[in-house]
C-alpha cells in the first residue's frame, strides 16, 4: 500500500509491489469487509429522492447466490459474463459473482446501441448477460446474431428470452466458495473506447485492481478517512468509473454513491455532491469543463465536505485546473492511463505533486518513459510517445482474439500508448495528444487540448473540439467545433470574437481559422470527444 508523504521522493521511497500469487477481486472488494463488518455500507443507491443503502454483507449474500445460480447453469472459469446496467449495487454484485466463479466480467455501457452490443457480445463470445428491461429491448433485435449467448438475466423480472434475477438468486444456495484464482488469471475485459478504430477487448487479470491502488491513492488524497464517500458520473462500464473510483473505493471500505444517469447535468451534479455529502469525486475533464458554466458554485451549493476531485480520460488543461482552484477551492488530482494500462501517471495534491497543464508524474511501481520513434528516450521538453515498461500489474494480458494487434502494441518490453507527451525538467509529464489527433500547421505540431481548454474559457462556449483540416498552404489549419451555452446564438460575429479570444490568449498559429457551431459533439461513452468523426466531416 502506498503511504502518504510530504513530497514525490517520499512517495517513491520504500515502495514495492506486494501482489500475492492467489488473489480474487470479488473476494477482496466484497467478502473481506463482509466478514469483518457485514453491516458496513458499501453502496448508496440514489434514485430521485430515494436513497437505499446496501451493505457489504448484502453484496456478499447476493453475489454468492448469483454465482451459485450461474454455476448451476453450467457457467464457470473463463466464461464471459456481460454486465449491461446503469450504476447500481447489482453492477457490483454481477462483477463479484463473475470473479468468484473464475469467469470474465464484460462491462457494457448503457449508452451502447444494438450494433455496439452485437459487436462486443459477439466478439467476446459472451455466454451470459445481466441487464435490465431497457437492455433486453436492445437485445431483442440482435439475439439471433449471438449464438453463444445462452442466458440473459433481467433485474426487472422475467422477460421474453430472459430469466428473472430475483428468481435465479432466490433458488440458489448460500455460502458459495469462490474459485481459488491466481493473480494472473483473467478476470475482466474492457473494450477500448474506439477513438481511433474498432474497439478491442483488453483482457485484464485479477491483479489489475491491486495495480490501481497506488495511483488511486495519489489522485484521491489517500482515502479512507472518516466519513469518506465516493461518487463519479462515469459509467461503471468504463475503466475510469470502475477502476478509478468504484472497485478501489470498495476495496478500501469507502461507500460509493450510485446514481444512474446517462447525461451529465452540471447543476444536478453539484446538488448531488452537496446533498449526499460527497468527499471524493472522479470527474472526467469534459464534466469539469461543463461545470465551469455554473456561476458561483460554492455560494449556491454546500461543497464544504468535498475535499478531493480526481480527473482522467483526457488532458484537463491549465485553464480548467486553475478554474477549479479558484472556484471550487480544490487542486485537481489529474491522472493518465489507457484501458490497456491504466493509472500509471498521477498528480498528488496532498504531496505537493500537481502542476497546471500536467497529468502528474509516474506513479510509484510504474516505469513510464517518453520515447522517440527510434526507441530512445526523449530529452527534456521534447515531445515523444508515452510508453510503459512491462511487467506491470495494471497492464493488460492481451487483446481478445487479436494477437497481431497485441504484438503491435509492444516494442520490446515497452507498451506503446500512441499518446504524445513531453516531460519537463522537474519530471512532470505534459500530455500533448493522441498521435492521430495532433495538428500539423505551417511546420508546427499542435495538440488540440490547449486550444479546447482556451475555447472553453469564452463565456459563450459550453464545449469545443479542435481538429486539423487539410490546407494546401499550411498542410492543415485548426478548425474548431463549438457548442454554445444557452442564451448565445451562432453568428459570424461571434465566431470572429471567439477566434480573436483564442489568438490573444494562445498564439497566432494555434487559433482556429475556422469555427463551426454544433448542437452537440460526437463522444465515446467515456466522455471523450471523437475527433476522428469531426475530421471526416471536414
In 3D, which of 470, 450, 529, 460 has the Cα closest to residue 490? 460
Residue ranges for the chain with pLDDT beneath 50: 195-196
State how far the Cα of 447 lies from the Cα of 158, in Å rounded to an integer. 50
H/E stretch holding 62: helix 56-72
SS3 331: coil
Can you give the pLDDT at residue 504?
81
**CA dist list (Å): 481 to 477, 518, 530:** 13, 6, 12
Can you give the pLDDT at residue 529?
80
Can you give the pLDDT at residue 262?
64
pLDDT digits over 177-187, tens only? 999 999 999 99
> Does 290 map to a domain?
no
Number of domains making up the chain = 1
Q: What are the residue ranges of helices labelled H in 185-293?
A: 208-219, 239-241, 247-251, 266-275, 285-291
> Does 274 map to a domain?
no
State how far the Cα of 296 lies from the Cα of 197, in Å rounded to an integer. 40
For residues 152 and 131, the answer to whether their CB atoms sit within 8 Å is yes
> Does 465 map to a domain?
yes
Can you give the pLDDT at residue 524?
67
Give one DSSP letter per residue of 16-42, joined into a string: -----SB--HHIIIIIHHHHH-TTSEE
> Does 495 map to a domain?
yes
Can you give the pLDDT at residue 193?
65
Can you give the pLDDT at residue 356?
92
**CA dist list (Å): 368 to 337, 349, 488:** 11, 20, 44
Q: 506: domain range?
A: 438-537
Can you give the pLDDT at residue 78?
98
Can you give the pLDDT at residue 227?
95
**CA dist list (Å): 28 to 214, 252, 315, 392:** 16, 9, 32, 20
> Does 497 map to a domain?
yes
The CA-to-CA distance between both ends of the chain, in Å, stands at: 49
In 3D, which of 277, 236, 276, 229 has the Cα closest to residue 256? 229
Strand pairing report for 80-84 and 104-107: parallel
Instruction: Specify the CATH number for the domain of residue 530.
Output: 3.30.300.30
State how far the Cα of 175 lies from the Cα of 366, in Å rounded to an integer. 38
> Does 479 map to a domain?
yes
Can you give the pLDDT at residue 530?
81
Amino acid at each position: 500500500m502506498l503511504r502518504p508523504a510530504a513530497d514525490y521522493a517520499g512517495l517513491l521511497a520504500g515502495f514495492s509491489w506486494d501482489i500475492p500469487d492467489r488473489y480474487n477481486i470479488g473476494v477482496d472488494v466484497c467478502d473481506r469487509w463482509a466478514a469483518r463488518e457485514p453491516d458496513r455500507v458499501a453502496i448508496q443507491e440514489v434514485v430521485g429522492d430515494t436513497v437505499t443503502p446496501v451493505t457489504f454483507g448484502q453484496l456478499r449474500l447476493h453475489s454468492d447466490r448469483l454465482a451459485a445460480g450461474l454455476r448451476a447453469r453450467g457457467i464457470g472459469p473463463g466464461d464471459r459474463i456481460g454486465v449491461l446496467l446503469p450504476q447500481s449495487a447489482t453492477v457490483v454484485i454481477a462483477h463479484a459473482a463473475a470473479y468468484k466463479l473464475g469467469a470474465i466480467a464484460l462491462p457494457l455501457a448503457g449508452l451502447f446501441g444494438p450494433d455496439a452490443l452485437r459487436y462486443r457480445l459477439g466478439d467476446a463470445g459472451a455466454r451470459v448477460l445481466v441487464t435490465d428491461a431497457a437492455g433486453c429491448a436492445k437485445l431483442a433485435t440482435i439475439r439471433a446474431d449471438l449464438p453463444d449467448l445462452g442466458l440473459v438475466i433481467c433485474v426487472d423480472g422475467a422477460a421474453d428470452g430472459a430469466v428473472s434475477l430475483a428468481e435465479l438468486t432466490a433458488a440458489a444456495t448460500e455460502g458459495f466458495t469462490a474459485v481459488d484464482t491466481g493473480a494472473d488469471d483473467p478476470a475482466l475485459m474492457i473494450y477500448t473506447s474506439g477513438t481511433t478504430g474498432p474497439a478491442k477487448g483488453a483482457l485484464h487479470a485479477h491483479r489489475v485492481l491491486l495495480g490501481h491502488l497506488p495511483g488511486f491513492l495519489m489522485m484521491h488524497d489517500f482515502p479512507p478517512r472518516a466519513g469518506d464517500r465516493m461518487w463519479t458520473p462515469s459509467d461503471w462500464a468504463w475503466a475510469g468509473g470502475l477502476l478509478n473510483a468504484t472497485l478501489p473505493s470498495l476495496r478500501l471500505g469507502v461507500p460509493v454513491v450510485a446514481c444512474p444517469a446517462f447525461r451529465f447535468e452540471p447543476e444536478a451534479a453539484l446538488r448531488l455532491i452537496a446533498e449526499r455529502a460527497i468527499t471524493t469525486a472522479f470527474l472526467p475533464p469534459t464534466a469539469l469543463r461543463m461545470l465551469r458554466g455554473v456561476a458561483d458554485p460554492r455560494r449556491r451549493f454546500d461543497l464544504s465536505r468535498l475535499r478531493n476531485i480526481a480527473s482522467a480520460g483526457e488532458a484537463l488543461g491549465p485553464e480548467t485546473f486553475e478554474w477549479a482552484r479558484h472556484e471550487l477551492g480544490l487542486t485537481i488530482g489529474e491522472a493518465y492511463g489507457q484501458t490497456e494500462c491504466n493509472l500509471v501517471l498521477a498528480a498528488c495534491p496532498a504531496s505537493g505533486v500537481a502542476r497546471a497543464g500536467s497529468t502528474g508524474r509516474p506513479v510509484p511501481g510504474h516505469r513510464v518513459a517518453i520515447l522517440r520513434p527510434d526507441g530512445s528516450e526523449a530529452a527534456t521538453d521534447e515531445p515523444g510517445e508515452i510508453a510503459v515498461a512491462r511487467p506491470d500489474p495494471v497492464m493488460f494480458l492481451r487483446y481478445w482474439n487479436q494477437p497481431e494487434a497485441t504484438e503491435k502494441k509492444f516494442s520490446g518490453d515497452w507498451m506503446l500508448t500512441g499518446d504524445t507527451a513531453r516531460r519537463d525538467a522537474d519530471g512532470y509529464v505534459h500530455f500533448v495528444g493522441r498521435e492521430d489527433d495532433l495538428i500539423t500547421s505551417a511546420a508546427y505540431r499542435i495538440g488540440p487540448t490547449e486550444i479546447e481548454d482556451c475555447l472553453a474559457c469564452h463565456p459563450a462556449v459550453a464545449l469545443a473540439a479542435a481538429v486539423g483540416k487539410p490546407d494546401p498552404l499550411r498542410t492543415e489549419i485548426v478548425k474548431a467545433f463549438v457548442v454554445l451555452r444557452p442564451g448565445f446564438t451562432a453568428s459570424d460575429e461571434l465566431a470572429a470574437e471567439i477566434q480573436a479570444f483564442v489568438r490573444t490568449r494562445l498564439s497566432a498559429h494555434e487559433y482556429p481559422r475556422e469555427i463551426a457551431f454544433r448542437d452537440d459533439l460526437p463522444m465515446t461513452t467515456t466522455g471523450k470527444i471523437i475527433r476522428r468523426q469531426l475530421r471526416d466531416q471536414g
